[in-house]
Amino acid sequence: AQSVTQLDSQVPVFEEAPVELRCNYSSSVSVYLFWYVQYPNQGLQLLLKYLSGSTLVKGINGFEAEFNKSQTSFHLRKPSVHISDTAEYFCAVSENSGYALNFGKGTSLLVTP
Amino acid sequence: EPEVTQTPSHQVTQMGQEVILRCVPISNHLYFYWYRQILGQKVEFLVSFYNNEISEKSEIFDDQFSVERPDGSNFTLKIRSTKLEDSAMYFCASSEDHNSPLHFGNGTRLTVT
């Protein structure tokens, strides 16, 4: 069975500072990894995904994530955040690249001036 | 950009009543999903649907739940006799094929009183 752990429930950060949102997973098989973002009163939007190939994945809005198989991690990073990045961020894992996503509990990113 | 649309945005119902949540997936997508998020908890997979039948479902998706694609555009989730614990945000999603990422709607907030 898979599980996803997002170690931080809330991450406060100042505008233009770098940020890292942590995600660890466990699975007995190869997995596909995703980060989704949820802005207030909106649905989940795909930020980036790792299916195979390069372990450094670039997504939308300047975010990137690195798949580390030995550490079973898929941390999300951005070198300089904006106020508009304030949102809930969800890490998810799947044994298929599509359905039955298993989500983490989410990390609330709060960017302040 | 095409998007998944869900109606209504907020549904209030009394315990024991039937409720139908509606979704219009992206038109060329073939796989459809329902997820839910109880307040303060993680997003949970309910069911996936392909070729007019359920392809996978979670333990949450018991006999009280059903899904249907009544025509070429809508995808519905029915809860036969709602319970207080069914109160949650319900997200519909669709994907082009099972190797493509999911596109989520903005959700329907269901409140059972």
According to DSSP, the residues that pair with A14 across neighbouring strands are: A112
Helices and strands (H and E) in chain A: how many: 0, 12
User: Residue A42's pLDDT band (boundaries 50, 70, 90)?
Assistant: confident
Q: Would you call B41 and A98 a contact, using CB atoms and an 8 Å cutoff?
A: no
Q: Per-residue pLDDT for A100 more than 80?
A: no
Residue B102 · residue A98 · CB < 8 Å: yes
CA distance to partner chain A, nearest, from residue B73 (Å): 19
pLDDT of residue A99: 62
Q: Per-residue pLDDT for A31 more than 90?
A: no
User: Residue B79's pLDDT band (boundaries 50, 70, 90)?
Assistant: very high
> Mean pLDDT, chain B, as a whole number?
93
Q: Per-residue pLDDT for A2 more than 80?
A: no
- Chains A, B: CB contacts within 8 A come to 66
Dump the DSSP string for B40-96. Answer: TS-EEEEEEEETTEEEEE-TT--TTEEEE--SSS-EEEEESS--GGG-EEEEEEEES
How would you list the strands of the sheet with B75-79, edge to edge?
B5-7, B19-24, B75-79, B65-68
3-state secondary structure (DSSP) of residue A60: helix
